[in-house]
Chain A
Amino acid sequence: MSAEVTTRTQASEGTRQPFGQRVRDWWNSRSRLEQWLMIIPVVVLVYLLPVMNFFPLSTEPWTDYELALFNAARLGLIALGLNVVLGQAGLLDLGYVGFFAVGAYVAAIMTSRDSFLTDPRYSWVVVVPVAIAITMVSGVVIGTPTLRLRGDYLAIVTLGFGEMVRLLADNLEPLRGNRGFQDVGGPPGTYANGSPIFTQGDGKPWYWLTVTFIIVILLLIGNLERSRVGRAWVAIREDEDVAEIMGVPTFRFKVWAFVIGAGIGGLSGVLYAGQVGFVNNQRFDVVTSILFVAAVVLGGSGNKLGVLLGALVISYLPDRFQLAPEYRFLIFGIALIVLMIFRPQGLLGARQRLLARGRQAYQRLVGKPEPVATESALIDSGKGTNA
């Protein structure tokens, strides 16, 4: 038995590496300094995107190009948050839109003149931490009872939570149902001539702000990934029972994943509410939740860059090619099915580094700075191909 397995592994080593893997190997063999020197121009390019409003990038005249970019970035932020829950800890959360809604409503209540608060003119700088804190608390409230459930049950209960938030918005008088909240506030700041920087019509500052949040969150989540926390999440995703038996307090780390994901969802809700300037009960339905999941799964659940790519595909491409809204879901559906058949791991397969000092360790042990992470492994793993 062992002999058979050994031969198969050797055989797979002999085959030519797929393109993605060769790119990754090349990247991994660069030094840290070289990697940063290459990342910086890419980041600069990302920041410059809004001023590159020309063919083939532009979405105009159909859709405002800068707003299209902002919407893609906002979905990217959401996907990053959902990826913590779904991609890293493996918890199928179908009610993620609920946290997005909580963030948007907190922003509305704290800044709109329609609010029931007596003086709802809080600075946006206060709104952001408060909204994140409140969504995180709602994450604990929802997570503590539901995270004892697994798999399908968890999916159904979270689906219910998403709907619950929407129904509360429909029916609770202070949340104003369909009438909603006007004049939701945005970040402070004015140009030299006194006009505000953040307006509903101008997507550029919103895009830059969101990209900045994305970068900060990428760094923070990277820190978590390469620590006991990230390892606990992946262990839970791989085999929850074994994780627990190996000493991982699984329940606590699942709640943490939920709460961190919730906080990021709340932040994107605040950004959304501020840019649109209006919040009512219309944009927080199940379909939106599924769209978030689609961005994560399409891009590559468990891969931070992958889910950003997924968000770009789901948000920007339809704007770019002027897809009518009623066809969008049809095409996403077909695209997802095709992807699941030919590339179940998503556009970029999951691969996270789980050790803060892994580079040095692997260098010492096997003379290479990074794990041998073969994407072909998904095909060679013996699942299905084991004759």
Chain B
Amino acid sequence: MSDPTPVEKGLAAEVQGMSESELAQHLEEVAEAVAPDREIQVDVGDTLLELDDVTLRFGGLVALDSVSFGIRRGEILGMIGPNGAGKTTCFNVMTGVYRPSSGEVRLEGRRLGRLKRYQITRRGIARTFQNIRLFEEMTALENVVVGTDARHKTSVVGALARLPRHWQEERAGVERAMALLEFVGIADRAADRAKNLPYGYQRRLEIARALATEPKLLCLDEPAAGFNPAEKDELMELIRRIRDDGYTVLLIEHDMRVVMGVTDRIVVLEFGKKIAEGTPAQVRDDPAVIAAYLGVPDDGAA
């Protein structure tokens, strides 16, 4: 926070013209509003989410084959692998879209078991989608407020009668949503319908919407797809800031520069199997990984 980068400076139009100290304070306020209830995570390093021997079959196809790995609190874990390796499927198992054929997923030591998808979200897993899936007819702001609603309790009676809790949640939701739009740098188009936003804005809106559910674990499915190098730099910066705010991040990404540049550890999948796990340096030099990527040395390592 004390040392804002040029990327951060460029994030919101209103930031321009601020002095360094003003900017630092502004960003702190934004972060405060983005995650007001978030307790500081002191126990960095304990396992937040664990996949234990997860297998998933689609008919004859084994999409995940005895996959086990853990995600530690406060880290950025990368997940790589060739097309069709099972990365997105892994997200789907973690978020309850598919149930594992065998094995189990645990969040903070508790099985996800037969929880419904929205219950898993409330437990603290949020995700974005490889092929952008926004609520297209809603404005950017409304999209994010839907995310904040995951934590809200107003139901039909409360909304009909406009009970105090409705107003309070409505105010808190919109405040947080606006702060999140600033945080990801798209507040200037808050009032546009999602489908009218430029591509890069849509990708970042997905991240804001996922963050709005106040996740413990944020899963990003190829968030840099279709980005140019400058946009990728901004995105890496954003992912780091998300982690610095106390979120744990799981990142699927094909671009090796992004993966190597931003992750703490990497899990490698191939044909549904985990073939490697370790720091970027370890994974980069792993012969099995090099072989998986068509047997040629990974150019991202250069």
Contacts and interface: CB of A to CB of B under 8 A. Distances in A.
Given A248-B146, A354-B145, A365-B178, A377 B193 contact: yes
Contacts of B192: 371-372
Given A228-B159, A246-B213, A373-B193, A9 B149 contact: no
B135 A235 contact: yes
Interface stretch (A58-66, A161-169, A219-227): A219-227
A104 B55 CA distance: 55
A234 B135 contact: yes
B86 interface: no
Contacts of B293: none
A350 interface: yes
Contact of B150 (A246, A368, A374): A246
Interface band, chain B: 35 or more
A231 interface: yes
Interface in B112-149: 116-118, 121-122, 126-127, 129, 133, 135-139, 141-142, 145-147, 149
Contact of A381 (B117, B170, B171, B195): B195
Nearest to A244: B117
A361 B141 contact: yes
B200 A2 contact: yes
A380 interface: yes
A68 to B, nearest CB: 32
B191 A368 contact: yes
Given A247-B122, A372-B191, A229 B155 contact: yes
A235 B146 contact: yes
A362 B191 contact: yes
Chain A CB count within 10 A is highest, among B96, B116, B146, B167, for: B146
A354 B156 contact: no
Interface in B171-191: 171, 174, 178, 181, 187-191
A229 B163 CA distance: 13
Given A3-B228, A365-B187, A380-B196, 20 more contacts: A1-B199, A5-B198, A224-B160, A227-B170, A229-B155, A230-B159, A234-B142, A238-B135, A241-B97, A242-B133, A244-B118, A246-B121, A354-B142, A355-B170, A356-B166, A357-B170, A358-B141, A358-B142, A371-B141, A377-B195
Interface of B: 95-97, 116-118, 121-122, 126-127, 129, 133, 135-139, 141-142, 145-147, 149-152, 154-156, 158-162, 166-167, 169-171, 174, 178, 181, 187-193, 195-200, 209-210, 213, 226-228, 231
Interface of A: 1-3, 5-6, 9, 12, 220, 223-224, 227-232, 234-235, 238-239, 241-250, 256, 260, 350, 354-358, 361-362, 364-366, 368, 370-374, 377, 380-382
25 contacts: A2-B198, A5-B199, A9-B198, A223-B160, A228-B152, A231-B138, A234-B138, A239-B133, A245-B95, A245-B118, A246-B118, A246-B146, A248-B118, A355-B141, A355-B145, A358-B174, A361-B190, A364-B178, A365-B181, A366-B188, A366-B189, A372-B192, A373-B193, A374-B193, A377-B195
